Amino acid sequence: MAWRLKLVPEKTSFDFFRYQIVTFSISVAMIVASLLSVAVYGLNFGVDFLGGTTIRTESTEAVDVGSYREALAGLELGDVSITEINDPGFRADQHVTQVRIGAREGEEAATPELITEIEAALKAVDPAVIFTSVESVGPKVSGELIWKAILAVVAGSAGILVYIWMRFEWQMAVGLVAACVHDVIVTVGIFSFFQLRFDLSIVAALLTILGYSVNDTVVIFDRLRENLAKYKTMPLREMMNLTTNETLSRTVMTSSSTLLVLIVLLIWGGDVIRGFVFAMVLGVVLGTWSTLYMAKNIVLYLGIDRGDKPKKTATPDEYANIDA
Distance from the Cα of residue 202 to its chain's centroid = 8
SS3 of residue 320 by DSSP: coil
Per-residue confidence (pLDDT) for residue 109, from 0 to 100:
63
229 found inside a domain? yes
Q: What is the mean pLDDT of residues 46-70?
A: 82
Cβ count near 115 (within 10 Å): 17
Backbone angles phi, psi at 97, to 5 degrees: -130, 160
Per-residue confidence (pLDDT) for residue 4, from 0 to 100:
58
Q: What is the mean pLDDT of residues 58-80?
A: 81
Residue 77 has pLDDT above 90, yes or no: no
162 found inside a domain? yes
Last residue of a domain, one of 87, 104, 137: 137
Q: What is the mean pLDDT of residues 300-306?
A: 80
Backbone region of residue 310 per phi and psi (left: phi > 0; alpha: psi in -120 to 50; beta: other values): beta
CATH number at residue 28: 1.20.1640.10
Q: Please check whether residue 244 is in contact with residue 318, taking contact to mean a CB–CB distance below 8 angstroms.
A: no
12 found inside a domain? no
11 found inside a domain? no
320 found inside a domain? no
Per-residue confidence (pLDDT) for residue 209, from 0 to 100:
87
Task: Say whether both 119 and 171 belong to one domain.
Answer: no
* Count of alpha carbons within 13 angstroms of residue 289, beta-carbon side: 21
Task: Say whether both 31 and 75 belong to one domain.
Answer: no
Task: Say whether both 75 and 224 belong to one domain.
Answer: no
Cα gap 35→157, rounded to integer Å: 18
Task: Say whether both 34 and 155 belong to one domain.
Answer: yes
Task: Say whether both 252 and 121 belong to one domain.
Answer: no
Task: Say whether both 25 and 172 belong to one domain.
Answer: yes
Span 91-105, pLDDT tens digits: 888 888 888 887 666
Per-residue confidence (pLDDT) for residue 26, from 0 to 100:
94
Q: What is the mean pLDDT of residues 45-52?
A: 74
Angle at 222 between CA 175 and CA 23, to 5 degrees: 40
Cα gap 7→69, rounded to integer Å: 48
Task: Say whether both 122 and 200 belong to one domain.
Answer: no
313 found inside a domain? no
Span 166-218, pLDDT tens digits: 877 888 888 888 888 899 999 999 999 998 888 888 888 988 888 888 887 88
Residues with Cβ within 8 Å of 264's Cβ and at least 6 positions away in sequence, in order, are none
Per-residue confidence (pLDDT) for residue 41, from 0 to 100:
93
Helix (H) or strand (E) holding 11: none
Span 16-27, pLDDT tens digits: 888 889 999 999
Q: What confidence tier does 306 reach under pLDDT thresholds 50, 70, 90?
A: low
Task: Say whether both 91 and 160 belong to one domain.
Answer: no
Quote the domain boundaries for residue 170: 20-44+141-302
Task: Say whether both 71 and 112 belong to one domain.
Answer: yes
pLDDT averaged over every residue in the chain: 81
Span 102-115, pLDDT tens digits: 766 656 566 778 88
Per-residue confidence (pLDDT) for residue 312, from 0 to 100:
41
Per-residue confidence (pLDDT) for residue 105, from 0 to 100:
61
Per-residue confidence (pLDDT) for residue 174, from 0 to 100:
87
Per-residue confidence (pLDDT) for residue 8, from 0 to 100:
63
- Residue of higher predicted confidence among 90 and 254: 254
Q: Please check whether residue 57 is in contact with residue 130, taking contact to mean a CB–CB distance below 8 angstroms.
A: yes
Q: Name the amino acid, one letter, at 5.
A: L
Q: What is the mean pLDDT of residues 281-287?
A: 93
Cα gap 85→269, rounded to integer Å: 10
Q: What confidence tier does 124 reach under pLDDT thresholds 50, 70, 90?
A: confident
Per-residue confidence (pLDDT) for residue 317, from 0 to 100:
46
Task: Say whether both 146 and 89 belong to one domain.
Answer: no
Per-residue confidence (pLDDT) for residue 259, from 0 to 100:
93
CATH number at residue 131: 3.30.70.3220
81 found inside a domain? yes
The domain tally of the chain equals 2
Q: Please check whether residue 172 is in contact with residue 299, taking contact to mean a CB–CB distance below 8 angstroms.
A: yes
Per-residue confidence (pLDDT) for residue 183, from 0 to 100:
92
323 found inside a domain? no
Nearest Cα neighbor of 290 from 198, 202, 192, 220 is 220
- Residue of higher predicted confidence among 47 and 96: 96
Residue 7 has pLDDT above 70, yes or no: no
Q: What is the mean pLDDT of residues 245-255?
A: 87
Q: What is the mean pLDDT of residues 228-247?
A: 88
Chain length of the chain: 324
Task: Say whether both 87 and 216 belong to one domain.
Answer: no
Task: Say whether both 191 and 161 belong to one domain.
Answer: yes
